[in-house]
Chain A
């Protein structure tokens, strides 16, 4: 089995028309082709390289990571002498990926990376999460290297990036006991030492995923006497495991048990400044966070896929009343909805990733030369789209992963409640997805301004104007009237000029936009696809989306702004 080859929906995303632009920008016209024996030589070669590497990941997922998932969930990591020891399976998974040279896929070749675009990297995350959602965190923390590559000085890059490519793991140390969603309250102290030119870190971090990693990115207060986000800077620490960073304990969690969640004590830990002082939270963490949210999107789609597969396999196998339960309307409708939500969130995942890819590629070019004004405008457009789509993706994909995990158990009936089937682990693993890297509620806070500034509407109009297969014309008509409804509903809320009321209705508005966007993406995918993979999901999702959009519109239409008061709880 191979998790890449047995999922043609992934290969399909590699054939998206925007890939040509992404690859050409990322490879800067294939400048590396004779400098590195593994560099791609042209567009077709680059896509072939992506596929070759995705096949390796797919094989490791099927042969190593998935078979280990159950024992990793059971055993979990442990703390011994202030160090984390991974579960046996976790270590095996990591070793296999490191041995195959898969860490640092998206890093530049000069640091040992493959210089791949984000698309194949995100696909790797999706496949790994499908095999074991908890392990996807350890894989995904290589995002830290992206932040180093983007913002750190050359000597820091040269020191740390090749080590990531060799398989040293990373952690991003942000949260503290008194700073969760509100990172401005971070207190861990960074003090500069004139003598050796290093910073020294002192304090406590909590809920740190993979906290015993070798390479740590730490958010710390560098400006004495400050109390807000502007006093925070970003540091990279080389964890030499010499007890300057101690793991005090690891959390006992509901799910993703293989991923160690650590409480850390920093005692005079030497560290180096990343980028400029005072920009830690307001610039670098925000950038890291966007990458992490994309990562959770991939993780969520992987979980949705795993939940769907467990459910459909069981439904085909399980017989009741003389037939397989998949033949009963109540069951097959559930399965089709799971598939539609899976396909919709995957469409949104790769659309978002393409936007991120284009703007990150421009960012890379900007580091080597000045962009033309045309390029600059394009860069900004894609950055805005990435900003708008990332929180929407994070919210929808994680909620759908949870809904699919719930339904997967439901399809299994009583058996699904037992430890004998994977669906119960998937259900527990899914639960964190709507919480970490910003709760769904915080994603709405990030997304709502793209409702009020019409970013979503503009993009919806763009999709509306695309060529589609004539058989979908009637679906588009329905979407156009849904869009009008969305537009009117947004106006209805914004014209009250009442911020609290807007916050109250924000999730409904973001969801309306999301339903329309995902419906369009499925129709566009179904138009482009020759194998008829998405036609059913496009129709099924739209049937669902239409009712959701009307439901929200009706709710808001009937709602008086003052009625918010009755919801207030003391």
Chain B
């Protein structure tokens, strides 16, 4: 029985380590200045997908990512951890997409894949923090969705049981496949890259990457088809051009405010337990921590 799991993943600038030039003058993220990483909650999603795969015979995990040529790295990273392959959705027509245009493009790509049993993605990406793409993809595909998932507890037939992590507790819900699941950062960490899989897939490449690299190992791509990463452009999906890229993106950045934290007052504490405790309470009360 084939069972197709698709993980939506995004390559994001590492906004956890921002420097001075993290933002451009127009208020958008300066992607060139920050290292590109696998969006952390998408890794949580991948782990849930891989766990599900291990429970179902014949199940496959494929990663779908939209981005420039270098975003293929996300697909390889996934394969090093156990994914079977992936699709890179790339082309200038997709540039400037907000969440609406992104979810439209992703939905078009998923439709093209044929039967998909479950779509898993991270709750949100650390560059935009919108948490919109997963739910929007579900809407566009007309699928049910379970958000804020922490753990896939069970799959019996086509009924899936999922634990959700909400602000003030947990909730266990059931849903019917096919559906979309968005996964929280509180879910299990993704497994590390596996040594053998890393060596097996390290040359996996999209056609564009192969062209640029002019690899010494060209014969290998025929002998080992799994090394070929699918690369889809706008012509590979059924679409209406007006919903893609900039023209499909109603979001506009109105204004950017640069917030600079400056110390206004300083406070000296002794190392006594009482003062430490008071400080903890104060910081929790004003939401600095906790």
Contacts and interface: CB of A to CB of B under 8 A. Distances in A.
Nearest to B198: A52
Contact of B192 (A40, A41, A96): A96
Top 4 A-B pairs, shortest CB-CB distance: A38-B199, A100-B192, A101-B195, A38-B196
13 contacts: A48-B202, A49-B199, A53-B199, A56-B192, A56-B195, A56-B198, A59-B192, A99-B191, A99-B192, A99-B194, A100-B191, A100-B194, A114-B195
| Interface bracket on B | 10 to 19
Given A39-B199, A53-B195, A101-B195, 7 more contacts: A48-B202, A49-B199, A52-B195, A56-B192, A99-B191, A100-B193, A114-B196
Interface string A433-464: 00000000000000000000000000000000
B274 to A, nearest CB: 20
A37 B200 contact: yes
A395 B90 CA distance: 57
Given A38-B200, A41-B217, A100 B195 contact: yes
Contacts of A40: 199
A232 interface: no
A270 B187 CA distance: 43
Interface of B: 191-200, 202, 217, 224
A60 interface: yes
Interface of A: 37-41, 48-49, 52-53, 56, 59-60, 96, 99-102, 105, 114
A56 B191 CA distance: 11
The CB with the most chain A CB atoms within 10 A, among B193, B199, B200, is that of: B199
Contacts of B198: 52-53, 56
Contacts of A49: 199, 202
The CB with the most chain B CB atoms within 10 A, among A40, A41, A53, A101, is that of: A101
Contact of A37 (B192, B194, B195, B224): B224
A310 B200 CA distance: 37
B216 to A, nearest CB: 9
Given A37-B224, A41-B217, A101 B200 contact: no
Nearest to A114: B195
Contacts of A48: 202
Contact of A102 (B191, B195, B199, B202): B195
A41 B199 CA distance: 11
A126 to B, nearest CB: 18
B200 A56 contact: no
A37 B202 CA distance: 11
Nearest to A40: B199
Contacts of A53: 195, 198-199
A41 B198 CA distance: 15
Nearest to A64: B192
A41 B191 CA distance: 27
A243 B169 CA distance: 44
A123 B194 CA distance: 18
Contacts of A56: 192-193, 195, 198
